[in-house]
Amino acid sequence: MVEFRMPSLGADMEAGTLVQWLVKPGDWVKRGDVVAIVDTQKGAIEIETFQPGQIEKILVDLNSKVPVGTPLALIRAEGEAKPAAAAPQPPPPPTAAPPPPVAAPAPPIAPAAAAFAISPAARKLAAERGIDLSTIGGSGPGGAITYADVERRGGVPAAPAAPTAPSEKKKPPTLDLAAMRTAIAAAMARSKREIPHYYLEHQIDVTACEHWLAEKNASLPPDSRLLIGALAIKAVALAVRRYPAFNGFYRDNKFEPSPAVHIGVAIAIRGGGLTAPALHDADQLPLDELMARMRDLIQRTRAGRIRGSELSDPTITVSSLGERGVEALYGIIYPPQVAIIGLGKVVARPWVIDGAIGPRSIVTMTLSGDHRVTDGHAGALFLAEIGKLMQEPDKL
């Protein structure tokens, strides 16, 4: 039997509130399945299990706030004997309660509802209207079912229609921005206190990227088009494989490089919030896949649906200000990471190429590095490598 515990979703998290179970005793779960939703300072986070098996028992009631590490449920691994079948073992101590009745033939997979990518609001609406999720075509990233999809599907309201309050549709994501600000302040204050930052900047000619993107996107429908941000993330992910001292965690007075490359993507939350969940294994993903995952990640983050692992394991962060705003951004490292890359907006500049001046598209890329791990020399090589990779977008 394995205990499923309240995970730590960042150095600053001490406790979380269990707000929803997506499984019940008897359900089977796979590694990576979302089993519960936990409310934290960073919003409602979907918590995955890393233990496949059958849910044996739920240990924590809804809406209870418990410290990190508290067992939330018991999961019986596949093949592990059910307690009821363990008759030949020594008699249980007299105080032990009789084993709970085992649920009737369990479905072989998690409930269908959990298998669909769907926002909580859309799920609620579908439940209210009695709509089978498998009958709805999702138009969101990765086929995710959005609120609008459920609305369009219509369906007969299950009960004498209590019309859905129009205000509900306009309700912003259930993110507590004040709590998020507190979490950002705590992490950034710790970073400035503990991490001796150094800063470098490099101007990168992204004209080749723009031409390549224009040509590629011309033949693609909007839901498959790429943004230059996806190219930059891939370039960073490939560059850290060559410069692993920028990818990993500084813990207990030493640097632990990470073999996996999980790029934290800084995402602005409407109304004033910021979070940087991980785009897992970004170095392994082809660009179209990377773009689809980035779209999905941004959409879920803004809807308040990040997964636990995405919050806890970014190995380096990329922060991009997009097409508006300013030309350069100097990031503050998110501990326990050791580097953050900043991207300003792309600007047209006169540039010298082969002795002649011509207009080029230029982006200023910065690196904030941790002097406990690297110095400016290594940082310069790392930034230059990213710039070089962006000259050949077809190889990203």
Partner 1 sequence: MSDIDIRKVLQEELNNIAPEADLASVDPAADLREAIDIDSMDFLNFITAIHHRLGVDIPETDYPKLVTLDGAVGYIERKLAPR
Among residues 92, 142, 196, 322, the one that binds partner 1 under rule CB under 8 A: 322
Write each residue from 226 to 255 as x if it is in contact with partner 1 (CB under 8 A), else as -, in one continuous string: -x-x--------------------------
The Cα 209–Cα 226 span in angstroms is: 11
* Cα–Cα nearest to 272, from 135, 174, 151, 177: 177
Is residue 323 part of the contact set for partner 1 (CB under 8 A)? yes
Q: What is the smallest separation between the CB atom of 200 and partner 1, expressed in angstroms?
A: 25
> E strands of 183-326, at which residues?
197-205, 248-251, 254-257, 263-265, 267-269, 273-275, 278-279, 306-307, 316-320
If the CB atoms of residues 102 and 208 are measured against partner 1, the closer one turns out to be 208
Write each residue from 159 to 178 as x if it is in contact with partner 1 (CB under 8 A), else as -, in one continuous string: -----------xxxx-----
Sign of the four-CA dihedral 326, 327, 328, 329:
positive
Give the DSSP H/E element, type plus range, for residue 66.
strand 65-67
The Cα 230–Cα 70 span in angstroms is: 38
Q: Which residues have C-beta within 8 Å of that of residue 157, sequence separation ≥ 6?
A: 128, 129, 130
Q: What is the smallest separation between the CB atom of 303 and partner 1, expressed in angstroms?
A: 10
The DSSP string of 284-314 is GS-HHHHHHHHHHHHHHHHTT-EEHHHHH--
The active-site residue, picked from 197, 280, 371, 377, is: 371
If the CB atoms of residues 22 and 362 are measured against partner 1, the closer one turns out to be 362
Is residue 301 part of the contact set for partner 1 (CB under 8 A)? no
# chain residues binding partner 1, by CB under 8 A:
27
Among residues 51, 146, 317, 368, the one that binds partner 1 under rule CB under 8 A: 146
If the CB atoms of residues 76 and 123 are measured against partner 1, the closer one turns out to be 123
Q: What is the smallest separation between the CB atom of 135 and partner 1, expressed in angstroms?
A: 18
Give the DSSP H/E element, type plus range, for residue 368.
strand 356-370
Among residues 324, 352, 356, 377, the one that binds partner 1 under rule CB under 8 A: 324
If the CB atoms of residues 286 and 325 are measured against partner 1, the closer one turns out to be 325
Is residue 295 part of the contact set for partner 1 (CB under 8 A)? yes
Write each residue from 254 to 273 as x if it is in contact with partner 1 (CB under 8 A), else as -, in one continuous string: --------------x-xx--
Write each residue from 43 to 72 as x if it is in contact with partner 1 (CB under 8 A), else as -, in one continuous string: ------------------------------
Residue 307 in tokens: 């997964």
Among residues 298, 378, 380, 384, the one that binds partner 1 under rule CB under 8 A: 298
Among residues 139, 211, 251, 371, the one that binds partner 1 under rule CB under 8 A: 139
The Cα 175–Cα 302 span in angstroms is: 9
Among residues 148, 185, 189, 348, the one that binds partner 1 under rule CB under 8 A: 148
Question: Scanning residues 329 to 358, which ones bind partner 1 (CB under 8 A)?
Answer: none
- 202 is a catalytic site residue: no
* Cα–Cα nearest to 283, from 335, 246, 332, 327: 246
Among residues 17, 217, 258, 391, the one that binds partner 1 under rule CB under 8 A: 217
If the CB atoms of residues 37 and 292 are measured against partner 1, the closer one turns out to be 292
Among residues 93, 101, 105, 221, the one that binds partner 1 under rule CB under 8 A: 221
Q: Which residues have C-beta within 8 Å of that of residue 34, sequence separation ≥ 6?
A: 22, 46, 47, 48, 114, 307
The DSSP string of 21-33 is ES--TT-EE-TT-
If the CB atoms of residues 278 and 373 are measured against partner 1, the closer one turns out to be 278
If the CB atoms of residues 80 and 176 are measured against partner 1, the closer one turns out to be 176
In order of 12, 53, 139, 169, the CA distances from 307 in angstroms are: 17, 20, 21, 24
Classify burial at 271, counting beta carbons within 10 Å of its beta carbon; exposed 0-12, middle 13-18, buried 19 or more.
exposed
User: Do 310 and 277 meet the contact criterion of CB atoms below 8 Å apart?
Assistant: yes
The Cα 88–Cα 67 span in angstroms is: 37
The Cα 315–Cα 5 span in angstroms is: 23
* Cα–Cα nearest to 121, from 100, 144, 102: 144
Binding site for partner 1 (CB under 8 A): 139, 146-148, 170-173, 214, 217-218, 221-223, 225, 227, 229, 268, 270-271, 294-295, 298-299, 322-324
Residues labelled catalytic: 371
